[in-house]
Structure 1
């Protein structure tokens, strides 16, 4: 009995840690609990099994599973003789990271680059007009800050390119993944 309690404690600690860290992906800890549970399950699980394991409502469970599938962190699998949907985690955390964070970084950098390019053009045009010295200094200050930010977002675009092309693994080796 002592060994079983130790195993459960170790398992629960990992599931809870995964759940807390899922906020990085913009999901609630309860959804992270689903992912952590699937991660440490040696078999695919049904919604009912997950619901019983986590003591969550079927609605919450269904929403959580759908969210994890949308993030491509879990997948539906088929098992002969099983009529209910089965779910298991996808074992490529590297790809999960690349897909999610590269996409988020790309969206954010492109949005900011577009806004800054438009503002930069407006400020450059404003400097050609009859502005007071204070207005000119303020416009130059804004341009200086915008140029710095644009350099950063252009650099970030290159980082995202490294992720999407997987060239990042030429810089940082991808660890050998054991079959789980």
Structure 2
């Protein structure tokens, strides 16, 4: 298999994965392209590689930057904006995911509190309260597991990974 074919397959896989998570398929394409590039890429280079116009690339790049998955970098002698995947992109993606789970817990806690103040004899209120309680228990457990995983990632897994090891292997 040729290098470009493998890169295109990764771009397609990331595009589909991001779309399955409810994100823009273009987000996945940009992330995949930047994962494959040993050097930062300009918006023009990203557009050219993905065969898309620069407008949507710029817009989605800003969103990815806001999510801290990519970063704008300065390239000496260049006036254009260049982008690269952040060094810990996979850890950051998980932190983003964990943050959404914390928001789900906050939703459950809020509505559990609200429902406690309502008529508990009402069948729908009882059902709603039970579901919010279940949701709260679920997301509390999930948040604890996410915390354990992130600590393990930061303290033992990530430090063992280095580009030198990857390049030597």
TM-score, length basis structure 1: 0.75
- State the Cα deviation string for residues 113-149 of structure 1 (Å, max 9, x = none): 21022213324xx45xxxxxxx5x7766665555444
Residue 174 (1) aligns with residue 138 (2): no
Equivalent residue in structure 2 for 1:66, among 41, 62, 65: 62
Gaps of 5+ in 1: 128-134
What does 1:24-63 align with in structure 2 at a 5 Å threshold?
26-63=22-59
Q: For residue 83 of structure 1, what is the aligned residue in structure 2?
A: 79
Equivalent-residue separation in structure 2 for 1:12 and 1:55 (angstroms): 12
Q: For residue 139 of structure 2, what is the aligned residue in structure 1?
A: 153
Equivalent-residue separation in structure 2 for 1:139 and 1:80 (angstroms): 62
Contact 2:27 2:61 in 1 (8 A): yes
Shift of 1:105: 0.5
TM-score, length basis structure 2: 0.79
Gaps of 5+ in 2: none
What root-mean-square deviation, in Å, do the aligned CA atoms of Structure 1 and Structure 2 show?
2.8
Q: For residue 17 of structure 2, what is the aligned residue in structure 1?
A: 21
Q: Cα–Cα, structure 1 residues 15 and 145, in superposed 2: closer, same or farther, change >3 Å?
A: closer
Residue 102 (1) aligns with residue 85 (2): no
- State the Cα deviation string for residues 142-173 of structure 1 (Å, max 9, x = none): 6555544433333234335445xx33449x95
Range 15-24 or range 52-61, more displaced: 15-24
Equivalent residue in structure 1 for 2:110, among 104, 109, 114: 114
